[in-house]
Structures are given as structure tokens and as C-alpha cells.
Amino acid sequence: MTTQGAILALDQGTTSTRAILFRPPALEPLAVAQEEFPQHYPAPGWVEHDAEDLWRTALSTLRGALAKAGLAAGAVAALGIANQRETVVIWDRATGRPIHNAIVWQDRRTARACAELRRGGHAGAVAASTGLLIDPYFSATKIAWLLDHVEGARAAAEAGRLAFGTVDSFLLWRLTGGRVHATDATNAARTLLYDIHAGRWDPAMLDLFRVPAALLPEVRDCATEFGHTEPGLLGAAIPIRGIAGDQQAATIGQACFTPGMVKSTYGTGCFALLNTGAEPVRSGHRLLTTIAYQFHGRRAYALEGAIFVAGAAVQWLRDGLGLIRAAAESGELAARSEAARRLYMVPAFVGLGAPHWDAEARGAVFGLTRDSGPADFARAALESIGYQTRDLIEAMHADWAASQTAPGEIPVLRVDGGLAASDWTMQFLADVLDAPVDRPAVQETTALGAAYLAGLQSGLCPEPEGFAAGWRLERRFTPDMPARARAAAYAGWKDAVRRTLSSPG
Ligand SMILES: Nc1ncnc2c1ncn2[C@@H]1O[C@H](COP(=O)(O)OP(=O)(O)O)[C@@H](O)[C@H]1O
Ligand SMILES: O=P(O)(O)OC[C@H](O)CO
């Protein structure tokens, strides 16, 4: 292991792009640049990004982080990329231009196509190969939609003139000046097209979702050689040596390398991943089986629970209801709600994700009285994040306990993401889970994970065990709620969810 050179990490997220420079081997953050970009909602339930915005903000934040640190690109040993997952970009190989806006993971336009495929009895085969459910969330039906709706796209795709990529792959293509069309195993695992057991694109899935093989990128390890940035872009050619989907990058950044470790990231949505080790665990509770990371051709698997609305509920308090001016005020307001005035908010703004997967459900608030006020709404919104996490963790516990490979209980929850800054929410989370909640010193865990991958491949960072030993706690939240109060609160939530589902059980 050598000790020179900074590592640059790019975290291309749903609402903003961040670039962070880290100093190896411990990966202390040196400089951050962040930029938001526009969201496009062309029809109800549709969400698009202009892929040029993703590229523009990637480039300007990478340049910005270097400028802030006063470093030349020549001093950067390697670049790692983490990205919003599932989002689909299709571009012309000759011009590098996207044929349409990117269709974002949140987009529901293919809900009907998915329902038809489910009715056709394909769910079993899809789950067996990809570990996923047939849902508009994933890439495959979005790719088919673009090929069917952009004039000439299907023929061009079949003729090999177009390229598909998740956002990492598109950015890699642009960064390498159109030389490299590749992705990593974690991103491939989110497309509904990748056999996560065999580690290859699955011809049966390509047939089922009508995706021509000529569109697809080559799939590589998370820490490997992905090519070099064009020298003109950042001032020198920087080797690109790490790629992972953002939630997998956060799992790596949280050093969840041991089977049984779980992290939960609270951004717009919430994504919890449980490392299940070398063997994939099939969920009996509609969680996803996915690839946590792949090093030296060896895969570690994860069970994943995805909640679509977490921080977005706080944004709704701010932008929809006007109850707060800034997200950070939500905890203070919630703390003013009196115990007896509990409301339940089921934030099914875009349906419910795991473990319910109810695309038709819509949000509801229960328990309103003449006394209900802003503080009760704020508390209900923040508590919904704790309850939804408990739904996921209970499902994980059950799947994990049923699996042959489970060594024991899930001990603690490691948290990160913007909303993890809310002490009030993290304390409620520990209370409702009845488990400790650990918040790390470096809360930019997604970028940290991407940097670690690049540092590992460069020989600047230690092997996973060494990196895990360096993980530092900022604060532990310890459960402090009487068992009876916990049980009553959670029972109320279960009832509220039951009443919100589109076909209540
Ligand atoms: N102190 C806070 N209290 C409550 N919510 C917060 C706080 N800080 C940030 N948030 C919420 O966290 C989310 C932003 O987290 P971030 O990780 O940047 O999200 P994303 O990567 O999905 O864009 C926003 O939805 C915001 O409302
Ligand atoms: O960009 P984020 O942090 O909201 O994460 C998005 C996820 O990768 C979607 O699966």
C-alpha cells in the first residue's frame, strides 16, 4: 500500500450531484462540491432527468472539488463513481447524444406493462434469475418504453447503433470520450436483465422484456480498471477505478462487509441493505435479492428493502403544507407534539414499496381531531420513517432467520443520508426498532464507498477488513421507550397501513 494521491468520488444522486475529494488511506474528506439539477414531471407519475444535466453537473462538481482543494488533476490517483440506480439513459453511439430524457427510477409509466407481465405468470422466473420483482422501478420496462416510443429507436438498437446504460455507464462513456461502454455488477443487478447467480446478462430476460443485447454494456467488478478520463475534461487523465450503485456504495462506505450487517440510507427515499454474504437469500417477504458488491469476480449478496418516501415526507411538510421553512426544523416541531395527540401518516405518495409493493395505494393521515396541529403532522411524518424501517427490518429478520446461512440476529442499524442528521428521527427509529442506531463520523457514506473502491483498486486503501476497522462512530442512539408504548405505537401503524393499501387484507 502506497500513501500518496487524493481520491475523487462522484455521487450522482436523484436530486443533486456531488463530488468529494478524499485523502487516503483513511479517506478523510478534503473538499466537496454539490449541484442540484431540474426534475421533469411530464405527466402524472412520470419522472425524467435531462441526461445532459447529469453530465454537466458531474463535470462541474468534479472540477469544483478540485478547485476548492487547490489540487491539480495530476495529484488525483483515481476516480470512483456512485450513482442513482435503475434510471435509464439510451444514447447514440456515434454522437454520444441521448435519444430522450433519462427515465428516472421513480417513474411509474410502465405500471400497466408490469401488471401484464405479472399476470402472464413471469414473476417466478424473473425473481429466480434477477432477484427482483416485476415493477416499474427497475430499468427493463423503461428501456422497452423508450425503444417503442422514440421513433426509429428499436431498429437502431437492433442494428447496434444505440447504447443503454444506467447513469454510471453513461457518465463513464462521456468521461472516457466514448471509449468505454461498461457498468459494474451492482448496477447491472438493478436492470431486471442480469442473472445475479451466473453473473451475466440473461437471454431469457432480454427476450421477455424485448431488449436487444446490442444495447448492453460490459459488466465488471466494482473495483477494477474502467478506463481514463479524457485529459481535456479535468486537466489530466484520471484512472476510473470504482463503480457501484449508490445504495451499494453506501453499504461499502458503512463497511458492512460482514454477513448480518445492515445499513439504512435516508435521502428522498430510504434503502436498507443487509449483507447476506456469498449466498443469495430469497425473500419470503417481497424484499429484493441483489448484489452488494463484487471484488475479484466474487459476489457478496444483499437483501434490500426500498421505501420510496422518507425525506420526501419532510419536503412535503416544507413545500406542500408550508409547516416548516427548512427540513432541519422538522424535529423541533415534532418534539412539540403531545404524546396523546399521535397521528399516523402513511406517506404512500407514489404507492408503497417494500414489503407491500402496492403501486396504487395513496397517502393517508389517520387519527385527526379538532386539536390536531402542525406539530402532530411533523411528528407523524418523521415517525412514518421509523415505522417503515421497522417493517423492512422485521421482514429482513424473518428472511435471514429462515436462511441456512444466517449466523444470528441483526445487531445494530448503521444510518446515513441527509435525514440521518435529524436526531429526533434517529431516536424514534431506535425506540421503535428496539435496537441501537449508529451514525458514522463520515455521513457522506455513498461518496466514501465510491472513493474506497477506487482507493482499493489503486492500492491506496486497505482490504475490506482494514477499512472496516477504521469505521468511526459519531453518535449511537439507544432505545428508550417502554415496551408497551412501542407495541401500541407500532400496532397503530400496522392498522393505518392496512387501511391505506389499495386492496386491504
Ligand atoms: N435535519 C433534517 N431533518 C429532517 N430531514 C432532513 C434534515 N436534513 C435533510 N433532511 C431531508 O433529507 C433529504 C436529503 O437527503 P439527501 O441524502 O441529500 O437526499 P438525496 O440523495 O435523495 O437527494 C431531504 O428530503 C431533506 O428533506
Ligand atoms: O439518489 P438517491 O440517493 O435518492 O438513491 C436512489 C436509489 O439508487 C434508487 O434505487
Query: Complex ipTM, two decimals?
Result: 0.96
Q: pLDDT at position 398, please?
A: 87
Q: pLDDT at position 406, please?
A: 56
Answer yes or no: is the C-beta of 416 below 6 A from any ligand 2 atom. Answer: no
d(CA 202, CA 420): 37
Residue 218 in this model has a pLDDT that exceeds 60 = yes
pLDDT (average), residues 455-477? 94
Backbone phi and psi for residue 3, each to the nearest 5 degrees, phi listed first: -125, 15
pLDDT (average), residues 356-361? 83
Alpha carbons within 13 angstroms on the beta-carbon side of residue 477 total 25
Q: Which residues line ligand 1 (CB under 6 A)?
A: 13-16, 267-268, 311-312, 314-315, 327-328, 330-331, 417-419, 421-422
Backbone phi and psi for residue 424, each to the nearest 5 degrees, phi listed first: -60, -45
Closest ligand by atom to 426 CA: 1
Considering only 3-17, 207-221, 293-307, which range has the smallest mean pLDDT? Answer: 3-17
Q: pLDDT at position 505, please?
A: 54
Question: What is the C-alpha radius of gyration for the chain, rounded to an integer number of angstroms?
Answer: 22
d(CA 380, CA 6): 43
The structural domains of the chain, ordered by start, are: 311-390 (3.30.420.40)
In ligand 2, the atom with minimum distance to the C-alpha of 15 is 1
Backbone phi and psi for residue 498, each to the nearest 5 degrees, phi listed first: -55, -40
- Structure confidence by residue, pLDDT tens digits, 244-265: 999 999 999 999 999 989 999 9
Distance of CA 373 to the CA centre of its chain: 33
Calculate what percentage of the chain has a pLDDT beyond 70: 97
Residue 3 in this model has a pLDDT that exceeds 50 = no
Ligand 1 pocket test, pick from 314, 384, 424, 445 with the greatest ligand atom count within 8 Å of Cβ, gives: 314
In ligand 2, the atom with minimum distance to the C-alpha of 417 is 3
Residue 504 in this model has a pLDDT that exceeds 70 = no
Ligand 1 centroid – CA 386 distance (Å): 15
Q: Are 204 and 32 in contact, with CB atoms under 8 Å apart?
A: no
Ligand 2 pocket test, pick from 135, 138, 183, 247 with the greatest ligand atom count within 8 Å of Cβ, gives: 247
Considering only 94-108, 288-302, 356-370, which range has the smallest mean pLDDT? Answer: 356-370
In ligand 2, the atom with minimum distance to the C-alpha of 85 is 8
In ligand 2, the atom with minimum distance to the C-alpha of 84 is 8
- Residue 375 belongs to what H/E stretch? helix 374-402
Report CA torsion sign: 128, 133, 134, 139. Answer: negative
Annotated binding site for sn-glycerol 3-phosphate: 14, 85-86, 137, 246
Ligand 1 centroid – CA 418 distance (Å): 4
Calculate what percentage of the chain has a pLDDT beyond 90: 87
- Structure confidence by residue, pLDDT tens digits, 386-421: 999 999 999 998 888 887 665 556 678 999 999 999
DSSP per residue, 149-172: HSTTHHHHHHTT-EEEE-HHHHHH
Q: Are 458 and 267 in contact, with CB atoms under 8 Å apart?
A: no
Residue 1 in this model has a pLDDT that exceeds 60 = no
Q: pLDDT at position 409, please?
A: 63
Question: pTM for this one?
Answer: 0.93
In the block, which residue shows the cell 483498486?
457
